[in-house]
Chain A
Amino acid sequence: MLAAYLGAGDAPGPAGAIGLVGTAALAVGIGLRRGTPVAAGLALVGVAYGVSLVGQGLDGTASLFAGGLVLVAELAYWSIEPGAAVRVGRTATARRAAFALALAVGSSVLGGLLLAAGATPLRGDTAFGVLGVAALLLVAAIAIWLLHSLRGDAQ
């Protein structure tokens, strides 16, 4: 969020405002221990970052922002878990924190690779575009299937 606000450049107003609303939603979600406001908050922070990119060139820090967003998401969902009130051993807590940190670092690395791949000039832009759309549709289909199959799924 802070990166979005600071990196807003020429249009700090809308990006900052969206980022603040996102942060507020995140705080409300954590306070009320509800998943929907947390997801909305994280999405708004992402939108704020997207708005801040308007009129800008390729942002080299996107991978760091992605890592930070994953870390915030992990910690936020951790804090609203139903069993958050249960006393967990120190080792288990440290292990989980390390895992969240590893995910954030991994996300940054993945983001860096994607940025590097995106910056590499390749021929056949149309073919890659079609491939990208197909991949996205596949992801969307999987997501919809998942959401349907997991709602009250029992075995």
Chain B
Amino acid sequence: MTRAATPKLTGYVSLAVLGLFAGLALGRIELVVLGAPFALIVSVGLATASTPRFTVTARTGRSRLLEGDETEVAVGVRAGTAVERLELALAVPEDVEATGDSSFALPLAGGEERELSVSLRFPRWGAYSVGRLGLAAFDRFGLFVFEQVSDHRVSVRVYPREERLRRLVRPRDTQLNVGNLVSRRKGEGIEFADLRPYQPGDRARHVNWRATARRGSLMVNEQHPERNAAVVLLIDSFAEARLGRAGTLDQAVRAAAALARAYLARRDQVGVLSFGGTVNWLEPAMGMRQLYTIAEAVIDTEIVVSYVWRDLRVIPARVLPPQALVLALTPLLDDRMVDALAEVRGRGADAAVVEIAPEPFVADRSDERRRLAYRVWRLRRSAARARFQRLGVPVVQWRAGEPLDAVLEEVSAFRRYARPMRA
């Protein structure tokens, strides 16, 4: 605990010295009368000031929340000695709102216990540390302050609220594991694929007797097997457009969480690649465990400003498996991301871009120069979009407030009608 003199102590000492000296020098008892009370207050304050003893605890209610949820932080104080005035302030992390008071001032008698409650609302996903308390205890005369930081931090993880998705972008190719997608390959399955002449080893239940009767030779049915797909959600963490509390990264993370849940529910393999100033990845896998791993991973996504030129060579090959659908969630603000996506396509991967429109987050276009810069910027963005479309990569804008379902449907429509080109 740190003891410090308050400005009051310095002021009172100065007034006492000034009054007493002036009274003596000028021979006026009235000035001594002015200075004497301050001298007496300082003397009594010094004699009675002692380090207060108290213990503080902080407990956080729920540590796993969804965006917009609230949790209570219970702060307990137990005074060992009487404290004239104890001030407590709970450090409220950035992007978190205290719905009531987060600072308190209270007098405490010796042995008294108090329980205070602070209600915190978490409007944005992320990982937060909650429970850091600043304490300041004052003596009877307010001449000293005893300060202490009490750290009871616990991690509160706030998961993004997910949009329910009814339709998903279907990957062109499937993997080898059993899933819910009808593969383009032929094998054991339910969906009819083709007819072919009987070969030794074919099972009798596959013989198509109608076709056999028509052609006069044994014909067997071929089926498409049901397989799963691999989807890699590529989150652009190079840059974001942000206006107040809303930003493109928020949308990207919410979309990633929703897509991961929906694809995993379909028994697909889902991986996440956060590509930016720092690069983090999760290899594609399936199951509920992967869902929780992705949920934990995406809330740690943050924009780290870096000028290092990164490309996909830093990414292990198993993170971007062949025939995986790479679904990029990006505001297309950084050329490095644009190049990385072009490289993904150049490798022959199946790619689609959900462009999180940054325009709603551009605040000031008031003067002519800003308007001109804005137009140039938009033209550059159009050029980047056109580059992807030439490569056969669908780019669909997603504006804040629009349902993600509609955007995914647009991506699917593009993929149905567009002819892929070689990079």
Contacts and interface: CB of A to CB of B under 8 A. Distances in A.
A130 to B, nearest CB: 11
A35 B32 CA distance: 23
Interface of chain B, main secondary structure: helix
Contacts of A146: 5, 9, 13, 42, 46
13 contacts: A38-B7, A62-B29, A67-B37, A70-B41, A77-B8, A96-B85, A107-B40, A110-B37, A111-B34, A114-B36, A147-B10, A150-B5, A152-B4
B39 interface: yes
Interface size class on chain A is: 35 or more
A92 B107 CA distance: 7
Interface in A113-135: 114-115, 118, 132-133
B299 interface: no
A66 B36 contact: yes
A140 B13 CA distance: 9
Contacts of B40: 107, 110
Given A81-B142, A87-B101, A133-B24, A62 B11 contact: no
Contacts of B375: none
Contacts of A103: 37, 41
B16 interface: yes
A39 B15 contact: yes
Given A103-B41, A139-B20, A77 B87 contact: no
Interface in B127-141: 136, 138
Interface in B1-43: 1-22, 24, 26, 28-42
Contacts of B1: 155
Contact of B7 (A35, A114, A136): A35
A153 B4 contact: yes
A77 B33 contact: no
Nearest to A87: B101
A140 B51 contact: no
B2 A154 contact: yes
B377 interface: no
Interface of A: 34-36, 38-39, 42-43, 46, 49-50, 53, 58-59, 62-63, 65-67, 69-70, 73, 77-78, 80-83, 85-89, 92, 95-96, 103, 106-107, 110-111, 114-115, 118, 132-133, 136, 139-140, 143, 146-147, 150-155
Nearest to A118: B29
Contacts of B376: none
B141 to A, nearest CB: 8
Given A111-B37, A114-B32, A73 B5 contact: no
A111 B24 CA distance: 15
A88 B105 contact: yes
Contacts of B106: 88-89, 92
Given A132-B24, A151-B5, A46 B33 contact: no
Given A39-B7, A50-B28, A110-B40, A73 B15 contact: yes
Contacts of B87: 82-83, 86
Question: When A and B form their complex, which 7 residue pairs have the shortest distance between CB atoms, in order from nearest?
Answer: A35-B7, A107-B37, A39-B11, A118-B29, A62-B30, A150-B5, A111-B33
A3 to B, nearest CB: 11
A49 B3 contact: no
A59 B14 contact: no
B103 interface: yes
Which of A34, A62, A83 has the most C-beta atoms of chain B within 10 angstroms of its own C-beta? A83
Given A82-B145, A143-B13, 5 more contacts: A39-B11, A62-B30, A86-B105, A110-B36, A139-B17
Nearest to B101: A87
A10 B221 CA distance: 123
A88 B85 CA distance: 10
A39 B14 contact: yes
Given A86-B104, A146-B13, A35 B30 contact: no
